[in-house]
A and B are shown apart, each in its own frame.
Chain A
Amino acid sequence: MKHITTLKTRNLCESAKHGGCGECQTSCQSACKTSCGIANQKCESTKKESK
């Protein structure tokens, strides 16, 4: 019996290899302006690791 379902997520360790292009939006820019977080940022890299 399967007790665990793993969701498809971006592998953060893998992203260390190709990440850091810096093209994504700065965090609280353009929206909240007062309570920063980065989780809802979209990756804008054109050279992403295979996921």
Chain B
Amino acid sequence: MIHQYKFDKLNIVLDVASGSIHLVDDIAYDVIALFEDAKKEEVVNKIYEKYKSESVSLKEVQNCYNQVLELKNNGTLFSEDNFAPIAQTLKNKSKGIVKALCLHVAHTCNLNCSYCFASQGKYQGERAVMSLEVGKRALDFLIENSGTRRNLEVDFFGGEPLMNFQMIKNLVAYARKIEKKHNKNFRFTLTTNGVLIDDDVIDFANKEMSNVVLSLDGRKEVHDKFRVDYAGKGSYDKIVPKFQELVKRRNNQNYYMRGTFTHNNPDFLEDIKEMLNLGFTELSMEPVVCAPNDPSALTKEDLEIALKQYEDLAHLLIERKKEGKPFTFYHYMIDLNDGPCIYKRVSGCGSGTEYMAVTPWGDLYPCHQFVGEEEFKLGDIYNGVTNTAKQEEFSKVNVYAHEECRDCWARLYCSGGCAANAYHATKSITGIYKDGCTLFKKRMECAIAVQIADMIEE
């Protein structure tokens, strides 16, 4: 299977199974489009008819056809996807291994954002914070279940995790004490709304957090529409200087400025520009996750706008790099030469198997987006996974378990997508969230085009 598309003057052809990417001229682009559906003579004649007025000879078209054929023969074009039968075996390589936990250290929040998928941090439950004892047990559980994996990831998440900052500090100290003994390397991440950032938080985060995710929606009026305190006051003015200070003292690296775009701002490129104006360069902007009847949900018209915004974002990235003012957009970071292996590409996100979320009281869920949905509770950090039937469902989610993904060119770039989004859209974790797919595919096309534009420039 191939996927071909045009981006500005670039003709791009992706070979899905081999992962090959070809940059082709107009003639080859048209030859490739017809190649599998017609015989050589027919293809060559059709293309010759199209281009003969441009002084292209029949011989040249035949030559082009042969170049396409050569790629097919060497397995980099129209290659067969033989991964489906081995996908589950590949995924099973990590069976029984847990390597990442999302610690919900605070099911409470000091902001009251109406679009929050975690319902202001409470996850449809009671407000709560995680005790140090629960935190320690969670890390012990992770070490015990991580097999030979050395790199263990732990997110401090909420609600607003800094509402339990002292516990986080104590827990990280505990982790640093035990990691060497077990030959592990903890990588911590903090996701915060910024309200409680102070010098102490900055010093700690910049010493101990591999990454910090800072929530900012972009333009002040966009940010302050949703990200308000309990008195209804916008948080933009309060948090931006704090984020700037934290990022500066972090040497402008290993962070993401993460925004959410909603029905209120499908023109999210303006928000990205605002982030750039504020001096931030490591950026992420995510489509809102909410019920379709929620006022902030993206409409079909919004999706159309967003697709165009992704293209314009790609142009902005290319332009700024040329001007010596580069920035990073999370979804356009793609390392063509050193990206994920096929194991990763078929295995999916790992939710419910190698990645789980832990509630303040120690319950385990497949990921942060399932927390609070009782039927998804897998067990707890004391007794491990007890709902083995539910976990088995997750362990069987490889990309080919999604019927719709089998015919999708992007399947080895997304690996089946988000199980939570699929479930909320279709009531099945092997379903797909169609609007998410539409946006994802556009992002991948743009990401690859940006890479190619970059290579050409170099």
A contact residues vs B (CB 8 Å cutoff): 1-13, 15-16, 18-20, 22-45, 48, 51
CB A3 to nearest CB in B, in angstroms, measures 4
Select the residue from A20, A39, A40, A41 with max chain B CB neighbours within 10 A.
A39
Residues of A within 8 A of B355 (CB): 26-27, 29
B418 CB–A CB distance under 8 Å: yes
Q: Could you tell me which residues of chain B, from 340 to 392, have a CB within 8 Å of some CB in chain A?
A: 340-345, 348-350, 354-355, 367-369
B contact residues vs A (CB 8 Å cutoff): 17-25, 27-28, 31, 60, 63-64, 67-68, 71, 75-76, 79, 82-83, 86, 90, 93-94, 97, 99-100, 102, 117, 149-151, 153, 155, 157, 187, 189, 191, 210-211, 213, 256, 258, 284, 286-287, 289, 330-345, 348-350, 354-355, 367-369, 412-415, 417-418, 421, 436, 439-440, 443-444, 447, 452, 455
Docked Cα-Cα span, A28 to B348, in Å, equals: 10
Docked Cα-Cα span, A37 to B443, in Å, equals: 10
Chain A contact surface mostly:
loop
Tell whether, in the assembled complex, residue A24 and residue B344 are in contact, meaning their CB atoms are under 8 Å apart: yes
A23-B150, A40-B331 given; A10·B336 CB < 8 A: yes
Tell whether, in the assembled complex, residue A29 and residue B287 are in contact, meaning their CB atoms are under 8 Å apart: no
Tell whether, in the assembled complex, residue B189 and residue A35 are in contact, meaning their CB atoms are under 8 Å apart: no
Tell whether, in the assembled complex, residue B22 and residue A39 are in contact, meaning their CB atoms are under 8 Å apart: no
Tell whether, in the assembled complex, residue B330 and residue A28 are in contact, meaning their CB atoms are under 8 Å apart: no
Tell whether, in the assembled complex, residue A12 and residue B354 are in contact, meaning their CB atoms are under 8 Å apart: no
Docked Cα-Cα span, A6 to B348, in Å, equals: 27
A22-B99, A38-B344 given; A4·B19 CB < 8 A: no
Docked Cα-Cα span, A26 to B415, in Å, equals: 12
Docked Cα-Cα span, A8 to B335, in Å, equals: 10
Docked Cα-Cα span, A11 to B27, in Å, equals: 26
Residues of A within 8 A of B27 (CB): 3
Contact of A3 among B17, B25, B340 (CB under 8 A): B25
Residues of A within 8 A of B23 (CB): 4-7
Contact of B335 among A19, A28, A42 (CB under 8 A): A42
